[in-house]
Chains A and B, each alone.
Chain A
């Protein structure tokens, strides 16, 4: 059972309070009508299944009801970070040890509070 840090409640809570909602960062096409059937099918049905770092959407269903993202390692199940909607992950397949690029420096600071998230 996962131990998940809710970035809104700023607390670790048990997995029982959360629901997983699939892969994170799947944006709905701005103009669905402009998509081909294939593109629309990709958006609807096709998801990554990586061995390694994976970004997931979760909701604190019986807590604050907020949706947020988790970066999780699919082999070790270690949760590397959790971050609010609209923020960018620090740990990615490209930067598995964590990136500190300009874009995410400010978020990274917030993330560092959550060191304990790492299993």
Chain B
């Protein structure tokens, strides 16, 4: 197909390089240097999308990030799908495949538009909520259909073949935007020798100068751009980042820059010489000072049917003609409020197309550009505006009439002029998004008719970004603001010679946003404010009538400025309309908050390398490989991978979890089992005040614990609630080894430091995390002593080495500490050896363990065994609202210790003394086959009307193989005094389980087995 709108010459495209691409299944051609949007316009493609809500045909409106309509789904293969790409920002490459985001079955013939046509009038803001309100249960069904009709792109269903990077960057000055202002600023800073990063979101740096009519130093502006970029590229202290969008401005000058490295080359990163480059990078920049040279977005005027393809903002017309060599029509009408937009008409005329008329809202405009247009014979209609565009799939004409902007009235008879393109300009809105991210509220500038950024310390704005739109003034402003930033850095500025600009005198612009119509806004043709979200002037008017006065509420009710658009094109117009309806001024109405990201960022760039295997670190014990080789199933405990159970193959079938756990449990109860307990937190505590410190952070007593002895301790917060538990061993008079739960290790360590550093710095005590230094191997079961005695020189005699003792010696010929503590209720030894000896000790145990049928067991068996003994797991049986007394562990509370230890005072608060607190008990299901659900709610009266008073819940529940029935731990209101009572557990499926409240110690209640 011909590029019917392509000019024979001019622009920054390479006509010698032709690129093929596919859009909505049809093949087209463009040139190197095109964006997808310019290539589509060159090929005369009018309709690029269907609108979000009304399914109206939509064309390209703008030429940059502010484009609301040309959202496309990029990607020819499933894994390369990228949703919501603006065609105006996508460089054309050979083989590019894209389709419209909306439109079913296609954009040319869209069935959903019937809904828009028939129902358009009946789809006011809140339509979906108002219409599909009842019944509530049906909303999920409605939503599926609505989403299909109104979707915004889709994510790929296959794995992304590309990789992405994060780069941490530091610089003295970050300059955002490489238009004339940013270049002047960067050059000033570069010559001072400071570290500068200059980023720009476009394919080429140069901004407005790439399509400028102005001469710099009597030469085309692009030549100045090339000279400056050459100089900057030579500077070691300058980093140039083209194709890089500053998307978010975060605290303390932390700015995220998204650099697209290969998006202009192909839909996935092309293979390099021996490597594949990353597709994009996220630069995490910590800047000393930041200069915003982000320019301005031109505001379109809001008039009837202003969304028909062929309606563009004036500046975009100039950009397409001058930068891309594309003229998007034949007959142009320009509707404007300012002189600058006249360039569009002059550019149009320069390439030999017809300018039907310029419609200027001002009376007697008199700037030099106006004079030029007049001199070239263009008809200028003063004090008037385009009321309404005519045409369906393309503009066919414009209705024009004299208007009174102040009174919001049409004052003259309308005439209709034939044309195929309407360009409009209602002024220029500084791009204040990044400044808004810092939380600073922008202020309205009456002179430049736009919101200008308020700036926090260290942020500077220059040029159009703060309403200084004139080129010569902007260049000077860029240099001046750079000097200001350098001053804050205490670095002398390198003076630069600014280029000579032949500025044209401009007349004053007028404040004009929504064009009046003969009919009231609610009855006239639709006037679109936010085309991406299909928000009309009527919708805003209706919102104010329905009582929404705050602009933030109007925004949410109408969806104006939502989504990927973030109000780039329409927000100021929307605020102006709200202001008119509310009888307020724009500054009184104020602006909504712009949020990161400025434009959508692909998730790949956000996660960088932190995905798949590197998403979260995995911690392995020294024995991990053995577990893998012996078929362990693993459980995640914090970041640790712990063996969950070790299924055996029986008769060619792998055991289930229940079968394996039952076997492992019985092995420990009747023979001997071995557990890798290395993940337990271990903290080495030393110092003359170590003992005193322990007494303050644990609830129980530590004053008399002798070297060689071990004690179980409870740790509370100062609110009296259990936080962690574990054993601490006295290694020497001033030396202790504390163990914590696997998950609590880091938190406990920080907790100890907190109290030592902030409350008791006078105590001489030091903490060292030794979790990874020691491997812990638990040998437990009636045969444990026999097995261990074969490989150790430690005297295991039950009188010499008692329960809660520890001894040092050799195990399997390596130095070891052996702790006689038990989490199973059986005879148990916890062998601690240096981690790199662990595998040797472990395998030596198995060499000797065969005759005892030594059985490795995992965390599930560990849980069952400890639950049979009523031993708690902090964080499973407790939840931050459970005191030691609630657990029935008064025996571990030293009420008479001299120092007011952490948690003591809270135990005498009225609330912690209540009799009906939830207390830990055991539950024995009446039906021995039942294993209660963990988390199940407990009631006293199952016949009580719903909602029933819930009196507790199950915290742990298992099947006990040794007892032959289910067991559970639970917290129940006043449970300690309810032993023997029956409670009920109503389940989701209607069943009601019955259980008897029993002691939490189910097995060996006298605790004899661990003392043998």
Contact = CB atoms under 8 A, between A and B. Distances in A.
Interface of A: 1-3, 14-15, 19, 21, 27-28, 31-33, 35, 37, 40-41, 43-45, 57, 59, 61, 65-67, 75-79, 85-86, 118-119
Given A32-B905, A85-B758, A59 B910 contact: no
User: Which interface residue of A21, A40, A41, A79 has the most chain B CB atoms within 10 A?
Assistant: A40
B758 A3 contact: no
A119 B255 CA distance: 13
Contacts of B251: 1-3, 15, 77, 119
Contacts of A75: 439
Contact of A3 (B254, B456, B757): B254
B252 A79 contact: yes
A117 to B, nearest CB: 9
B941 interface: no
Given A3-B254, A67-B757, A77-B252, A44 B719 contact: yes
Interface string B742-771: 000000001001100111010000000000
Contacts of A35: 905
Contacts of B457: 76, 78, 118-119
B253 interface: yes
B750 A19 contact: yes
Nearest to B901: A32
User: Which interface residue of B753, B758, B906 has the most chain A CB atoms within 10 A?
Assistant: B758
Interface in B229-255: 250-254
A3 B864 CA distance: 47
Given A77-B251, A78-B457, A59 B754 contact: yes
Given A40-B906, A75-B439, A76-B439, A3 B252 contact: yes
B254 A44 contact: no
Contacts of A27: 759
A28 B759 contact: yes
B900 A67 contact: no
Contacts of A43: 718
User: Which 3 residue pairs spanning A and B have beta carbons closest together?
Assistant: A32-B905, A3-B252, A119-B252
Contacts of A66: 757
Given A3-B252, A40-B906, A119-B458, A65 B753 contact: yes
Given A66-B757, A85-B757, A119-B458, A3 B906 contact: no
B904 interface: yes
Contacts of A65: 750, 753
Nearest to B719: A44
B286 A3 contact: yes
A119 B900 contact: no
B109 interface: no
A119 B253 contact: yes
Contacts, number: 70
B718 A2 contact: no
B553 interface: no
Contacts of B439: 75-77
Contacts of B253: 3, 119
Interface string B896-922: 000010001110011000000000000
B754 A32 contact: no
Size bin of chain B's contact surface: 20 to 34
Interface string B249-289: 01111100000000000000000000000000000001000
A41 B718 CA distance: 10
Nearest to A12: B286
A57 B758 contact: yes
Contacts of B900: 31-33
Contact of A1 (B254, B719, B759, B905): B254
A1 to B, nearest CB: 5
A67 B758 contact: yes
Contacts of A21: 754
Interface string B279-321: 0000000100000000000000000000000000000000000
Nearest to A79: B252
Interface in B435-459: 439, 456-458
B617 to A, nearest CB: 13
Interface in B177-198: none
Nearest to B440: A76
A35 B909 CA distance: 10
B456 A33 contact: no
16 contacts: A1-B250, A3-B251, A3-B253, A19-B750, A28-B718, A28-B759, A32-B900, A32-B904, A40-B909, A44-B906, A59-B750, A67-B753, A75-B439, A118-B457, A119-B251, A119-B253
Nearest to A86: B761
Contacts of B905: 32-33, 35, 40
A14 B753 CA distance: 21
Nearest to A84: B757
A76 B438 CA distance: 8
A67 B439 CA distance: 29
Nearest to B749: A65
Interface in B699-733: 718-719
User: Which interface residue of B253, B718, B905, B906 has the most chain A CB atoms within 10 A?
Assistant: B905
Contacts of A3: 251-254, 286
A52 B253 CA distance: 20
User: Which interface residue of A19, A57, A77 has the most chain B CB atoms within 10 A?
Assistant: A77
Contacts of B458: 119
Interface string B111-132: 0000000000000000000000
